[in-house]
Amino acid sequence: MEAFSIEGGHRLFGTVAIPGAKNSVLPLLAASILCRGTVRLYHVPMLSDVRASLQILDSLGCVAQYESGTVSVASGHLCSSTVPPRLMCMMRSSVLYLAPLLVRTGRAVITQPGGCQLGARPIDLHLAGLVAMGARVAQESQMHKIILTAPFGLYGADFTLRFPSVGATETLLMAAVTARGNTVLRNVATEPEITDLARFLQAAGARISGIGTRTLHIIGQDALLGAQHTVCPDRIVAATVLCAVAGCGGEAILTQCNPSHLTPILDALRRAGCACVARDHRTVTISSNGQLQMPQLLEAAVYPALPTDALPLLCAAFLQANGTGIFNDTVFENRFACAKGFAALGAQVQLHGAALTLHGVPKLYAAKLQAEDLRGGAALALAAMLAQGTSILDGTELIMRGYENFAALFSNLGARITQL
């Protein structure tokens, strides 16, 4: 188990170049299997989840290479339709290999995916949509194995998601681009990472309209070619930096980001007293004196609302704010596993289901902390940066799933954080 040592009480100053988005890179790597030519992805962070994805591609017979932020994938000759269980359990996004394998080999075999335990995260929407497009599903309960076949290939369908799931939208979009005929996907997710995937697929020859709306129209093509694509910026890494500066105080410039993807986060921080300015379409600045006004209510929901991944980060920023506020997550019921760690630092928190009530306190004090999930772990690191004394945060391998080098990122801004 890996750990950070974090000495709190230091303001943050500097410039941060925002990396490519984890939540975009992972579906893009899965989608590369659809392409008969070579795929090149630029602006790719080397995360533990990216390493796991490259291992999955290698196990399937692809030639995948990473060098200096660029990934190249050649998937002309697949040798397997099964994602190894040891790799499936490493991350939630392993489920995204269902559709590409089904398209390329007529068969896909997976076990239940891993990832953060944020509550119920079923894959029934993925399966229902694929069945509507002609797939057959069998489950082997003893091995928790799911087997999909498409003996006659996939065909277009008109399918409505009962909830705008990001993962299900990605799965069905990847299935539809080479399905026979036309597909209409309704009530889809509209997150920036969905748009990024759709633009990549278009570059490879897919015909998709309605990108950025709740309804996608896809005309199936015989095959997709190779493509080159630059991954969109990671709005959650940007949110992490913004929340850290807001809570600790200081000034920072965020480059290579997309301010339009950060609107609900910037709005929340402005209302709290921070000076947040979008300098252009790639740059955001933030200035904070560290004395924030507590919001009465912050609620996470599907895009374009406040992202669920940012909610615990914002909560960490407000631990010493003036007033009382409620932080509610409408997406995941167990988003606040970090609440126990907040309390250990001296924060006044009350957890009621998916909602956390926070009473701001004048001071926080160092403690021994345990990361339970990726974003909650990052939130505990931010909280420790606010506290007096030196905290130890265990379980930081979870944080490495979404941040290329968390300790270096914040050390470069003036935080006292070291990897143990």
Residues forming the active site: 116
What is the rounded CA–CA span in Å between residue 276 and residue 132? 46
SS3 359: strand
What is the rounded CA–CA span in Å between residue 57 and residue 203? 21
Query: Are the beta carbons of 35 and 224 closer than 8 angstroms?
Result: yes
What is the rounded CA–CA span in Å between residue 408 and residue 419? 9
Query: Are the beta carbons of 42 and 231 closer than 8 angstroms?
Result: yes
What is the rounded CA–CA span in Å between residue 88 and residue 121? 15
What is the rounded CA–CA span in Å between residue 189 and residue 195? 9
Provide the 8-state DSSP code for 295: P
**Cα three-residue angle 269-270-273, rounded to 5 degrees:** 90
Torsion of CA 8, 14, 17, 22, to 10 degrees: 10
- Please list the residues that pair with 355 across neighbouring strands: 328, 352
Query: Are the beta carbons of 322 and 293 closer than 8 angstroms?
Result: yes
What is the rounded CA–CA span in Å between residue 276 and residue 270? 6
- Helices assigned H by DSSP within 36-117: 48-59, 85-88, 98-105
Tokens of 393: 């945060």
What is the rounded CA–CA span in Å between residue 9 and residue 365? 10
